[in-house]
Amino acid sequence: MLGLTKKDLQLMLIVTGLTMLAPFILNPFPESSGMAQFNAGYPDLMQRFVIFGIFAIGFNLLFGLTGYLSFGHAAFLGVGSYGAIWMMKLVSLNVIPAIFMGVIVAGIFSVAVGYICLRRSGIYFSILTLAIAQMSYALAYSVLTPITGGETGLQIKSTDRPLLSNLAEGETGRANLFGMDMRQSFELSIGDWLFTFNVGYYIAAVVMLIAFYVSIRIFRSPFGLMLRAIKSNQTRMSYTGLNPRPHTLAAFVISGMYAGLAGGLLVAMDTQVGPERMFWTASGEVVLMTILGGVGTLIGPVLGAGVIKYMENILSKINKDVLHEWFAFMPDGLEDFIVFLVYPFIGKGWHLTLGILFMLVVIFLPGGLVEGGQRIGKWIKNRRTAKDTGASTEPAE
């Protein structure tokens, strides 16, 4: 079905199920319980899960397949965002043209950047992309203020009168899809549980599913094979009559368009953009997501994006009082000691946890969480077969 093998189809269905049921899955704890703060099923965060998932999927198409490590990918996300918000400000508040605009602008920009950066490879490529992204950030921050709004960025204002809209005088436009407001939510209350179904989230989720599907197809295509060949051995590639340059450029542009898509979606959800979206730390973040989840795997980047956004939003909210509450059952001295030990890793210190986790993954688990999962799976399987054979040989003895 869908031109996928059975295994890929299974993966696709699992991901579809998870994203569609996310409002349930991410809200496992009752509202009144102490664990409610671990609930991630609110619209803003769920939107971020899928949008950064798209960003990471796109990054993985470049880094995972060709091995070219771009350290400036946030530039495409930012450019896509700017393109999208101008579309909303000037033409239509419907999110579809805005998202399209984001993809197109990012695509054009990545053709130019890719043309320059792909003349070099290895560490030079990383530094070139980093330099260009930092330059774009500086341009957006200061030089291009008339287009980018400088430091404060761009928002949809009450004075904006898009061509294809009939707003009342002084009314601030809202992003919509054929009249459906992105912020509209339907809340379902079952007992002590509260589930939120948000229009924006479901639109972003559908887009992510399409993006995920396309990425599976690219992975399994002749083109994907060529990209993996580039990563593996460029010499053999050239001496097999294949030109690596257009292949890498195509991968770079596709990857840039994924970033633009993510940027456009971000604007569709919160109708604002600032230059910090292009800062190099944002580029670093997508690298972290992809590596953490599992570079070169299909599901890894989505997983990594989820873990990091969850940590950013949930782990960072835990403070000392919450910790004391948790460990209240311990004797006082021990409680203080444990809180003292744990405290640096949570709240504002969540970056520390992230950094350590990332290092551990790079050192011990180059395949990321996906490889971790596979290893655990194999270990369990081996134990089980060992037990089975053990049981069957026992009587013989």
Partner 1 sequence: MEAIILQILNGLDKGSAYALIALGLTLIFGTLGVVNFAHGALFMIGAFCAVTFSRILTLSHTIIDETQTDFLGNPLKVDVPYLYDLFGQATGDAIIDWAVPLSILFTVPVMMFVGYAMERGLIKHFYNRPHADQILVTFGLAIVLQEVIKYFYGANPIPTPAPQAFAGSLDFGALLGFDPNLIIYPYWRIIYFVFSAVIIGAVFAFLQYTTFGMVVRAGMADRETVGLLGINIDKRFTIMFGLAAAVAGLAGVMYTPINSPNYHMGMDFLVLSFVVVVVGGMGSLPGAVLAGFLLGILESFASMREVLEILPGLNQIIIYLVAIIILLTRPRGLMGRKGVMED
Partner 2 sequence: MGILEVKDVGKRFGGLQALGDVNLSVKENTVHAIIGPNGAGKSTLLNCLVGKLIPDTGSVMFDGQSVLGRTPHEINQMGISRVFQTPEIFGDLTVMENMMIPCFAKRDGAFRMRAVEDMMREKDIVEKAEAMLEDMNMADKHHMNAASMSRGDKRRLEIGMCLAQEPRLLLLDEPTAGMARADTNNTIDLLKQISDERDITIAIIEHDMHVVFSLAQRITVLAQGTPLVEDDPENIKGHPKVREAYLGETAA
Q: Which residues bind partner 2 (CB under 8 A)?
A: 3, 5, 214, 217-218, 220-226, 228-229, 231-233, 235-243, 246-247, 250, 254
Nearer to partner 2, 236 or 317 (CB): 236
The nearest distance, CB 350 to partner 1, in angstroms, is 9
359 binds, among partner 2, partner 1, none (CB under 5 to 8 A by kind): partner 1
Tokens of 117: 């950066």
Taking a C-beta distance cutoff of 8 angstroms, is the pair 67, 228 a contact?
no
Which of 286, 353, 229 is CA-nearest to residue 70?
286
User: What are the residue ranges of helices labelled H in the chain?
Assistant: 6-20, 22-25, 43-66, 74-90, 95-117, 122-138, 145-148, 199-220, 222-232, 234-238, 244-270, 280-293, 300-313, 320-326, 332-342, 350-364, 368-393
Q: Which two tokens stand for residue 48?
A: 């971020």
Residues within window 113-152 making contact with partner 1, judged by CB under 8 A: 116, 119-124, 126-128, 130-132, 134-135, 138-139, 141-143
Find which of partner 1, partner 2, none residue 220 binds, CB within 5 to 8 Å per kind: partner 2
Strands 193-198 and 185-190: antiparallel
Residue 77 buriedness (CB in 10 A; 0-12 / 13-18 / 19+) = buried
Nearer to partner 1, 32 or 235 (CB): 235
Residue number with CB closer to partner 1 (144 or 167): 144
Regarding 352 and contact with partner 1 (CB under 8 A), the answer is yes
Question: Helix, strand, or coil here: 302?
Answer: helix
Rounded least distance, CB 254 to partner 2, Å? 8
Which partner in partner 2, partner 1, none is near 366 (CB below 5 to 8 A by kind)? partner 1
Q: Work out how close the CB of 123 gets to partner 1 at its nearest, in angstroms, rounded to a whole number.
A: 5
**Helix/strand/coil for 233:** coil
Stretch that binds partner 1, among 164-172, 209-217, 260-268, 345-353 (CB under 8 A): 345-353
Question: How far is Cα 204 from Cα 1, in angstroms, rounded to an integer?
Answer: 24
Locus of tokens 């880094």: 63
Q: How many CB atoms lie within 10 A of CB 364?
A: 9
State the binding partner of 373 from partner 2, partner 1, none, CB within 5 to 8 A by kind: none
Residue 186: enclosing H or E segment and its boundaries? strand 185-190
Residue 37 or 233: the one with the smaller Cβ distance to partner 2 is 233
Q: Which does 355 bind (CB under 5 to 8 A by kind): partner 2, partner 1, none?
A: partner 1
Task: List interacting residues with partner 1 (CB under 8 A).
Answer: 63, 67, 69, 71, 116, 119-124, 126-128, 130-132, 134-135, 138-139, 141-143, 280-281, 284, 287, 291, 344, 348-349, 351-352, 354-356, 358-359, 362-363, 366
